Amino acid sequence: MLLTAAVLIATIVAYPHLPGSLATHWNMHGEPDGYSPKWALFLIGPGIMAAIMLLMYLLPWLSPKRFEIESFHSTYLQIMLMLVALIGYFSIVILWSGIGHGLNVGRAIIGGVCLLLALLGNLMGKVRRNFYVGVRTPWTLADERVWYATHRFAAKTLVAGGLAGLALTFAGLNGWPVMVALLVGALLPVVYSLMFYKQLERRGEL
């Protein structure tokens, strides 16, 4: 809530100094390809941050039995904080650029996404079986052992993919090199969950 209030105040303070229209979307090469009127920053920043908090407040109530979020509530709140902080970071980057400071916004945005992926990787091993966060494939949801093994594996691939993407971004290699690093880090656990499930199935251990 404090982060959301801080971004709201920053938007109000910067508002008179902003141009009528600002870039609010960038392609994978870090080039702006979408623009919005400056009033939309209240929705894009504080609005989305508040919506994330509201959604993640409601999800535990919606969880079915045996998939309760309360079993990893502290980790769940950390994930919420990271997502809210990322949107707040995006908002500050847009505001900083909008009031005339030189900044490669596309690179800053991509770098933020890479950092988020690496930080989320550090939490994967603590995420319990649920329908909302984590590597939710048919095979991880079907078997608890597959869930835990997959998330231990995902902790490594997400951190590696995020850090690799961050290093490539700092080196000025936007676009496909960064996307490949992120996609490999995110998709390898999906393949692993299928392979591990089938291994248990062949051994008759399901």
| DSSP tag of 167 | H
Question: What is the per-residue pLDDT across 62-94, written as a single tens digit (0 to 9) for each?
Answer: 988 889 999 899 999 999 999 999 999 999 999
Residues in the chain, total: 206
**Whole-number Å distance between alpha carbons of 128 and 42:** 34
**Whole-number Å distance between alpha carbons of 147 and 137:** 9
**Whole-number Å distance between alpha carbons of 123 and 151:** 9
User: How would you classify the pairing of strands 21-26 and 32-37?
Assistant: antiparallel
- The answer to whether residue 205 scores a pLDDT higher than 90 is no
- Please give the average per-residue pLDDT across 144-148, as a whole number: 96
Domain ranges in the chain?
A: 2-202
The pLDDT assigned to 106 comes to: 82
Which single residue is written with the structure tokens 């995020």?
162
For residues 97 and 103, the answer to whether their CB atoms sit within 8 Å is yes
| DSSP tag of 43 | I
Please, which pLDDT band fits residue 175 given cuts at 50, 70 and 90? confident
For residues 162 and 114, the answer to whether their CB atoms sit within 8 Å is yes
pTM, two decimal places: 0.87
Please, which pLDDT band fits residue 174 given cuts at 50, 70 and 90? confident
